[in-house]
Amino acid sequence: MTVFSSLKIRGITLKNRLVVSPMCMYSSEDGFANDWHLVHLGSRAVGGAGLIFTEATAVEPRGRISPLDLGIWKDEHIEGLKRIVDFCHSFGAKVGIQLAHAGRKAEDYAPWEREKKKLKGSKHAIAPSPIPYGKDWLVPKEMKQEDIQEVQKAFVNAAKRAVDAGFDVIEIHSAHGYLLHEFLSPISNKRTDNYGDSLENRERFLIEVVRSVRKAIPDSMPLFVRLSCVDYVEGGWTLEDSIHLARALKEEGCDVIDCSSGGIVEEEKVNAYAGFQVPYAERIKKEVGIKTMSVGLITTYEQAEEIIGNSRADLVAIAREFLRDPYLPMRWAKSKGLKPEVPRQYIRAWL
């Protein structure tokens, strides 16, 4: 098996194992996709990626990481997203949407504006507990049971719109310190109701979201969940917790665990090195028997090949290296003497 082997998940077949990881572009107004998103995601389809994820796409306006994020909280958002999906499909790529809610990490300013402001966060932010993300961050509103129901409904409605837009895959963002991760981690969840305290209670909200989204989308559509597999904070979420959760998610019809890490507090120390998150994907895959996607500082063909060839993960997601080179899959294939799949417009440069 190689990074260029196809992979069938439920009703879809990815032409290779190379995935464009979700990346915020801070280029949207009122959640709408525009020409930037078409050119950015479309270029990676031209470049040969097997699966391309949108950035964290907000299920409700107060769930945006910044006011410039993509959104899918109203029907009007569907058309712009569909244009991108259709274009990517014409180059043989599958397209996934990452459905997200930023929770206490929602912000009222773009990252470059926020640097100039004193306050960080959003006055509309909600979270499992009224604990700010870090120093100088606004205190989020503690969610009531009605808020939990409302956000769950927002995920379901967003998923239905994603189906209407023609997406092939849905990923629920439950990593990097955003809302669903905030419920999982004992660092940010101090609730005393049935959504807090014990591990099962902290897992409840994500499991309910996954269960209700699964019911709302076709059986043939793969469902991914991105997890921060560890918190890097004493008393935080652990890899053992992730394994426990992955077992439950598999039962609920989740197909792939996308294994990232960190993000729950502003002051965290991460020792990041090439492939540092691969062991998380490997352990979850082996112990739970579920497909995994590995991400994080994967930049070379040899690294990706080692991960896939040794069955340490089923997919490799790449973020920054895809920003440096949208034609990464074509370049890697050519460098290995394989015949890259090249759009006819570019054949004279590649064959």
Ligand X SMILES: Cc1cc2nc3c(=O)[nH]c(=O)nc-3n(C[C@H](O)[C@H](O)[C@H](O)COP(=O)(O)O)c2cc1C
Residues recognised as catalytic: 178
Stretch of 78-86, 141-149, 294-302, 343-351 lying at the interface with ligand X (CB under 6 A) = 294-302
Contact 3, 305 (CB under 8 A): yes
* Pairs from 299-303 (Cβ < 8 Å, separation ≥ 24): 299/274, 301/3, 301/332, 301/335, 301/336, 303/274, 303/275
Cα angle 169, 170, 173 (rounded to 5 degrees) comes to 140
**Among 28, 98, 122, 185, contact with ligand X (rule: CB under 6 A):** 98
- Classified as helix, coil or strand, 221 is coil
| Out of 15, 37, 211, 226, the residue judged to bind ligand X by CB under 6 A | 226
Q: Give 58 or 342: the residue with its C-beta nearer to ligand X.
A: 58
Nearest to 60 by CA among 21, 30, 28: 30
What's the burial of 73, exposed, middle or buried (CB within 10 Å: 0-12/13-18/19+)? buried
* Residue spans of beta strands (DSSP E) within the chain: 7-9, 12-14, 18-20, 51-58, 94-100, 126-127, 141-142, 169-174, 223-228, 256-260, 291-295, 315-318
Which x/- pattern, by CB under 6 A, does the window 297-316 give for ligand X? xx------------------
Q: Which amino acid is at 314?
A: D
Of the two residues 144 and 320, which places its CB atom closer to ligand X in the complex?
A: 320
| 295 belongs to the binding site for ligand X (CB under 6 A) | yes
Question: Judged by CB, which is closer to ligand X: 273, or 344?
Answer: 273
CB distance 265 to 187 below 8 Å: yes
Residue in 102, 318, 333, 342 binding ligand X, rule: CB under 6 A: 318
Candidate residues 3, 9, 19, 24; the one interacting with ligand X per rule CB under 6 A: 24
**Nearest distance, CB of residue 58 and ligand X, angstroms:** 10
CA distances from 12 to 169, 301, 318 (A): 9, 24, 21
CB of 79 to ligand X, least distance (A): 22
Residue nearest to ligand X (CB): 319
Q: Does 294 bind ligand X (CB under 6 A)?
A: no
The number of beta carbons lying within 10 Å of the beta carbon of residue 292 is 28
Q: How far is the CB of 320 from ligand X (least distance, A)?
A: 4
Q: Say whether residue 110 binds ligand X (CB under 6 A).
A: no
Among 2, 10, 12, 23, binds ligand X (CB under 6 A): 23
Q: From CA 65, how far away is CA 62, in angstroms rounded?
A: 9
296 near ligand X, rule: CB under 6 A:
yes
What is the smallest separation between the CB atom of 181 and ligand X, expressed in angstroms? 10
Q: Is 55 in the site for ligand X (CB under 6 A)?
A: yes
Closer Cβ to ligand X, 215 or 320, answer by number = 320
Interface with ligand X, residue 68, by CB under 6 A: no
Give the one residue of 16, 66, 260, 292 binding ligand X; rule: CB under 6 A: 260
The residues of the shown chain that bind ligand X, judged by CB under 6 A, are 21-24, 55-56, 98, 173, 175-176, 226, 260, 295-298, 318-321
